[in-house]
Structure 1
Amino acid sequence: MSCRLRVLIAAILVLPALLAPPTAGADTPTPRTLYADGAEGRRLMGGEWLFRLDKEDAGLKQRFQRQAGREGWTPVQVPHAWNVGDDSPESMAGSTAWYRKDFSLPSAAAALSWAVRFESVNYRSQVWLNGRAVGSHKGAYLPFEFTLAGVKRRGTNRLVIRVDSRRRPTDFPPSGLTVVGGPTGGWWNYGGLIREVYLRRIDRLDFAQVRVTPNLPCATCNATVKVKARLRNVSGRGVTARVTGRFGARRFSLGTVSLGPGGVTARETSIRVRSPRLWSPTAPNLYPVSLSASAGGRKLAGYKLKSGVRSVKISQDGLLLLNGRRVNLRGVGLHEDSKEQGFAVDNALREKLVDDAKELGASMIRTHYPMHPYTHELADRKGLLIWSEIPVYAVKTRYLAKRTVRAQAARELAKNIETFANHPSVMIWSIANELSSRPGPVQSYYIKRAAAQAKRLDPTRPVGLAVAGYPSAGCQPEYAPLDVVGINEYFGWYPGANGSLFDRKGLSPFLDQVRACYPKKAVIVTEFGAEANREGPVEEKGTYAYQREYVNFNLATFATKPWLSGALYWALNEFRVRPGWDGGNPRPNPPIHQKGLTAYGTFARKPAFADAQASFRATDQLGGGVAPVARRSASGG
């Protein structure tokens, strides 16, 4: 056979592969987002993903990141939590798994850079593009991005993510064992890509960060709004662009920026807003904000968000003020959890939770981790304040003493503030939940450093901490750096190792003790609640009647404390906690946490919902009058 003939035959054999359609499941991500605020150019990576559980953790050795075939992979939709419905201890402890997505770029993608954005992966992740490592990340509930070097302009790209949900005692939240050897945790450890993934287009210049900060000296004053943008040049050549924007109907300019390859710069300006329409839960007025960077008549980058003008301060006598008026908030904790989806919930579920909270009469919501951006947007639009907490949850002293643990907490606190500071609904930055009720040098060091960090990054909001409310804890000077002390109290429900909580008569004097300990700090009851899953007599714990009476007693007690800045019931909805959970209920239904006012899966309202609703609606939460004392800023000691 001649050489020419052999070449011709080889070409014929290769031709079908060259002309073959993209791998099944490959698509072009659509220019759609599940929330509005943020950089332009985001494309939702929906459609079919492939998933592979890796319980033996053999995927790296077997090079799953380079596998070509589909054998062993299952089609799924992302967001996705792989252990929904598995109530076993092994499910709670976590595992490893892999996700794979084939995609192509839009046809007009030449000369553009691209990044992949993950809204939340639980917990550790490694990312590959076309078989090459892109980056790794640790921590859930906050977004992260990687620039995609080597992305194919034409043809099919393959994105692969290894997810490791196995928690360690040094993680947030930490792992651990109960007294009977089961896994601990305050909510279920759902592994996976639990929030959506985006492909993001970048045309040379990128808005790396945008901060819009209103300053309202008094409720009837004109406002000043500071707009600060950090821009970076992601291209390999210099770029000069003009940066402009709008706040409501007002136009502004951030001037002209000139950046070399990889260069970064920050620009800011201030805008005077006369007679601003203030944001509050009763009148959630929002101003549209947009920024644009253009060169040669072409728009390179854009950023949009909604802003609200309002002030949050603490009075000299420890009252929380919104727009200069004392508040007496009522609200609920919640979890973005569903029976069918786990933490990989959709926007319909988020809307349901927010609507239920509003119908209850709540003015504040809280959970133990940063909520989805769409939940923040709903809170902005519908008028709900947010106690925004990072998942530094019941971290033991010996682990909090580690520098690496505190460094991870600092990263999460900074990212939370960077991500959500533009939302007027965010009222308080919380640095932890239930550290030791008798803080020593380790907790003192953490509280001091974390509070200072939060105030440095955002001096316009108070900093808080939720603590376990034990009568014998006494006054803690370690809380001096805080603006707000949150009290998790379960008087009349749990017996407490550090002082009996079983007798509910201790609640009122305990609250008075807290006030005496911290007379210049705002105090919010951040948790109170009782499990309920059945009919029965009022004196029997776990019955609907007991829960009703418990709710009414606590709310009536709070009403006698005019200095209290708020009280949040734990929780609005039932959710999965951990294997063996009883929550103080003599007839529990593990792993379901049943203190919720609505039932797991159905969201049916328990009788106590109506009791809480009546009390919440009868409370003057936002009309407490202008404080008669001199006011200080949120960071004012």
Structure 2
Amino acid sequence: MLDNTQMLKKSSSQSIDYPRPQFKRSEWIDLNGSWKFQFDDDDMGEKNGWFKGDILQENIQVPYAYQSKLSGVNDQSDHNVVWYEKSFEWKVTDKEAYLHFEAVDYYSKVWVNGQFAGEHEGGHTPFSFLIGSMLQEGENTIVIRVMDDHSVEQPLGKQSWKSENFLCWYTKTTGIWQSVWLEEVSQTHIEEIKMTPKIENASLEVVANISAHENPVYLEAEVYFKDEWIHASGVWIKANAKSAELTLDVQSDEADFRVFYWSPDRPDLYDIRFTLKDRKHVYDEVESYFGMRSIEVKGDRILLNRETFYQKLILDQGYYQDSLMTATYDQMESDLKKVKEMGFNGVRRHQTIADRRYMYLCDQLGLVMWAEMPSSFHFSNTAMIRTMNEARQLVNKHFNHPSVIIYTLMNESWGVNEIFHRKDQQNFVNALYFQTKALDPTRLVVGNDGWEHTLTDLLTVHDYNSDDVSMKNNYRCKDDFVNGSPSMTSLKQNYAQGYQYQGEPVLVSEYGGIAYGSQSKNDWGYGSRPESSEEVLLRLKQLTTVITETAFIQGYCYTQLTDVEQEVNGLLDHNHEYKFDPKKIKEIVSQKSSGFLFE
């Protein structure tokens, strides 16, 4: 075993391992790899003191769920309670230590050296515990108990709650499925940073949360663009104050229009370094970045940086054949580069919350992103509370990423199946909408994607019609379309009772779903199955042309990026390799562009 003086990694701007690329410190420990593991089907582990350590007998590869092949367990049967254990050497210093979990599904309890560190409910969002006071010189042990019964009252996303997969619900995920890591920090440190770009006055607003400190400290921020120093600003924070605000001017004479804007065509990013210090000591240094971009609605148009923006998205469910919802950096990068190569300018991350490196790659490559809250499937007080809580964490995770432009809070009335006529379900979606707007007023919000909208910034429609002629006829009259039931496949109304079209931009946020590449009786897609790749591309062109030639539609999202288990309608196969020539797909996707581009 290595101690922390040997294991501490020096992260760099090129690091692909660091789990949080937008909030980087230099000293951290990767805890992924081999852990002790055990099922606890009788749920007796806590009563029998498993949290004390040195009990578990099996092994697992973290961060892969036990249901996946790469976990080394590869067991698809249901086990509602699982335990993990990891030992490591530690050299005690005067510093504090964070134990970070990027995602653990669903309810976690954590002990360090037998001491209870904390608990967390929610299967898709990061959480951390300060554990410095629990660490000891020499060997230390982390033990985790995870409970996940796949209740329909918890946000599941695309995980099947039945004994087997069905329709578009897939293999379950239980336990740790994103990175686990340790980070050393000073007792006085930056806890959180929120950055809000203001392109109208070429500035960046920063709100920082600071740990407890008995004396005044100074927070300094320095901004760079491609290694060119742009601006610095700072603020003194009085003793024991928990937060601070500052504004940075990001104008540059080198920029064409005062600032370097972030967009899919030119994903320019600024680097920013935060330093927390006083007149004698430097307590904390954090490296980050931001993008100067705005997203807004004006009439029935969507504006990115005040210019009309036509969205050409692809649905990404984030599943991998051997690892389920867990991906390596290289896998995420390969997928997103293929998205760009096929001509799309964004992704709708569907029913799962991505690894933070995924958002980092979208920021770097120039892909807009829709962040989506995974759905529960039964309406109850418990389901509402759980969804509201995790939706807040969703916003916090995505807040600083310029690629993220839209939050989708519900999908196709899942978990609110009677929303069309039930006021309580309508009010719940509206509460989610207002909560999200309060936490992040800078982005657009879709309350219930696909149909039966209540409060929403966009009218988003799911239409899996495979016949372009009838599809075009349904889109012919905007007035009939927006307040009607335009999709022949769902037959759902666009708006719930008591709601109607208010002039929102219209997008077809799911369409296509053309199955190809497998003849298993259990595999499926939407519409009749084409017999050749040429037939797939022809149908893709015909359906996409209907959308792009309908003047009032402001974008689309094709279903989907990859085949996922029994659903074989991806443009990539189960191994995330091309099924079709990407140049031909790009020709179809490039039928319409928006705005004026400087070459």
Q: 1:159 aligns with which of 117, 123, 142?
A: 142
2:411 corresponding residue in structure 1? 433
Q: Within the alignment, does 1:568 sit opposite 2:557 as a pair?
A: yes
- In 2, are the aligned partners of 1:50 and 1:99 still within 8 Å (CA)? yes
Give, in whole Å, the separation in 2 of the partners of 1:556 and 1:211: 40
Q: What are the equivalent positions in structure 2 for 1:31-70 lying under 5 Å apart? A: 31-32=10-11, 33-40=18-25, 41-68=27-54
2:577 corresponding residue in structure 1? 604
The AA in structure 2 aligned to 1:321 is L
Following superposition, the deviation at residue 226 of structure 1 comes to 0.9
1:630 corresponding residue in structure 2? none
Give, in whole Å, the separation in 1 of the partners of 2:339 and 2:478: 25
2:331 corresponding residue in structure 1? 349
Following superposition, the deviation at residue 489 of structure 1 comes to 1.8
2:206 corresponding residue in structure 1? 227
Q: What are the equivalent positions in structure 2 for 1:488-499 lying under 5 Å apart? A: 488-492=462-466
Following superposition, the deviation at residue 321 of structure 1 comes to 0.9
Change (3 A) 1:345 1:92: farther
Change (3 A) 1:540 1:455: closer
Deviation per CA, 1:589-617: give whole Å up to 9, x if none. xxx2211111102x232238655322112
Q: Within the alignment, does 1:253 sit opposite 2:241 as a pair?
A: no
Following superposition, the deviation at residue 48 of structure 1 comes to 3.2
Q: 2:529 aligns with which of 541, 544, 565?
A: 541
Give, in whole Å, the separation in 1 of the partners of 2:531 and 2:446: 33
The AA in structure 1 aligned to 2:562 is N
Change (3 A) 1:420 1:25: closer
1:238 corresponding residue in structure 2? 214
- In 2, are the aligned partners of 1:128 and 1:134 still within 8 Å (CA)? yes
Change (3 A) 1:488 1:378: same
Q: What are the equivalent positions in structure 2 for 1:166-245 lying under 5 Å apart? A: 166-173=149-156, 186-217=169-200, 222-233=201-212, 238-245=214-221
Q: Within the alignment, does 1:532 sit opposite 2:532 as a pair?
A: no
Change (3 A) 1:81 1:544: farther
1:11 corresponding residue in structure 2? none
Question: Larger Cα Rg: Structure 1 or Structure 2?
Answer: 1
User: What SS does structure 1 have at the residue aligned with 2:138?
Assistant: coil
Give, in whole Å, the separation in 1 of the partners of 2:67 and 2:293: 42
Following superposition, the deviation at residue 90 of structure 1 comes to 8.6
User: What SS does structure 1 have at the residue aligned with 2:189?
Assistant: strand
Change (3 A) 1:133 1:312: same
Following superposition, the deviation at residue 188 of structure 1 comes to 2.9
Give, in whole Å, the separation in 1 of the partners of 2:477 and 2:387: 31
1:582 corresponding residue in structure 2? none
Q: What are the equivalent positions in structure 2 for 1:59-138 lying under 5 Å apart? A: 59-68=45-54, 72-74=57-59, 76-85=60-69, 91=76, 95-105=80-90, 107=91, 109-138=92-121
Q: What are the equivalent positions in structure 2 for 1:442-481 lying under 5 Å apart? A: 442-469=424-451, 479=454, 481=455
Q: Within the alignment, does 1:324 sit opposite 2:345 as a pair?
A: no
1:381 corresponding residue in structure 2? 364
Q: 2:395 aligns with which of 389, 401, 417?
A: 417
- In 2, are the aligned partners of 1:552 and 1:611 still within 8 Å (CA)? no
Following superposition, the deviation at residue 363 of structure 1 comes to 0.5
- In 2, are the aligned partners of 1:102 and 1:159 still within 8 Å (CA)? yes
Give, in whole Å, the separation in 2 of the partners of 1:255 and 1:25: 33
Q: What are the equivalent positions in structure 2 for 1:333-412 lying under 5 Å apart? A: 333-367=315-349, 368-392=351-375, 395-396=377-378, 398-399=379-380, 402=381, 404-412=382-390
Change (3 A) 1:507 1:372: farther
Give, in whole Å, the separation in 1 of the partners of 2:207 and 2:276: 14
2:523 corresponding residue in structure 1? none
Give, in whole Å, the separation in 1 of the partners of 2:479 and 2:37: 54
User: What SS does structure 1 have at the residue aligned with 2:293?
Assistant: coil
Following superposition, the deviation at residue 618 of structure 1 comes to 3.0
Give, in whole Å, the separation in 2 of the partners of 1:187 and 1:539: 20
The AA in structure 2 aligned to 1:365 is V
User: What SS does structure 1 have at the residue aligned with 2:119?
Assistant: strand
Following superposition, the deviation at residue 510 of structure 1 comes to 8.5
Change (3 A) 1:514 1:424: farther
Change (3 A) 1:527 1:49: same
Following superposition, the deviation at residue 503 of structure 1 comes to 6.5
Change (3 A) 1:165 1:301: same
The AA in structure 2 aligned to 1:148 is I
Following superposition, the deviation at residue 167 of structure 1 comes to 1.0
TM-score between the two structures when normalised by the length of structure 1: 0.79
Give, in whole Å, the separation in 2 of the partners of 1:185 and 1:443: 23
The AA in structure 2 aligned to 1:533 is G
The AA in structure 2 aligned to 1:531 is A
Structure 2: runs of 5+ lacking an equivalent = 12-17, 253-257, 484-499, 521-525
User: What SS does structure 2 have at the residue aligned with 1:377?
Assistant: helix
Q: Within the alignment, does 1:310 sit opposite 2:293 as a pair?
A: yes
TM-score between the two structures when normalised by the length of structure 2: 0.83
Following superposition, the deviation at residue 185 of structure 1 comes to 6.5
Following superposition, the deviation at residue 184 of structure 1 comes to 7.7
- In 2, are the aligned partners of 1:466 and 1:487 still within 8 Å (CA)? no
- In 1, are the aligned partners of 2:276 and 2:282 still within 8 Å (CA)? yes
Following superposition, the deviation at residue 533 of structure 1 comes to 2.5
Give, in whole Å, the separation in 1 of the partners of 2:570 and 2:314: 10
- In 1, are the aligned partners of 2:29 and 2:183 still within 8 Å (CA)? yes
Following superposition, the deviation at residue 624 of structure 1 comes to 9.5
Give, in whole Å, the separation in 2 of the partners of 1:78 and 1:44: 11
The AA in structure 2 aligned to 1:80 is Y
Deviation per CA, 1:178-219: give whole Å up to 9, x if none. 7x99778634322231111111222122222211111123xx
- In 1, are the aligned partners of 2:99 and 2:183 still within 8 Å (CA)? yes
Give, in whole Å, the separation in 1 of the partners of 2:77 and 2:297: 40
1:508 corresponding residue in structure 2? 475
User: What SS does structure 2 have at the residue aligned with 1:91?
Assistant: coil
Give, in whole Å, the separation in 1 of the partners of 2:155 and 2:181: 24
Question: Number of matched residues?
Answer: 551
User: What SS does structure 2 have at the residue aligned with 1:553?
Assistant: helix
Give, in whole Å, the separation in 2 of the partners of 1:154 and 1:143: 28
Following superposition, the deviation at residue 543 of structure 1 comes to 4.2
User: What SS does structure 1 have at the residue aligned with 2:553?
Assistant: coil
CA-atom RMSD, angstroms?
3.4
Change (3 A) 1:359 1:622: farther
Give, in whole Å, the separation in 2 of the partners of 1:23 and 1:49: 15
Give, in whole Å, the separation in 2 of the partners of 1:73 and 1:25: 25
More displaced stretch, 326-335 vs 436-445: 436-445
More displaced stretch, 22-31 vs 457-466: 22-31
Give, in whole Å, the separation in 2 of the partners of 1:492 and 1:94: 40
Change (3 A) 1:281 1:79: same
Give, in whole Å, the separation in 2 of the partners of 1:23 and 1:224: 45
The AA in structure 1 aligned to 2:438 is R
Following superposition, the deviation at residue 131 of structure 1 comes to 1.2
Following superposition, the deviation at residue 154 of structure 1 comes to 1.2
Deviation per CA, 1:324-351: give whole Å up to 9, x if none. 2112211211122222222222111111
Following superposition, the deviation at residue 622 of structure 1 comes to 4.9
Change (3 A) 1:533 1:510: farther
Following superposition, the deviation at residue 563 of structure 1 comes to 2.1
Structure 1: runs of 5+ lacking an equivalent = 1-21, 470-475, 494-500, 577-591, 626-637
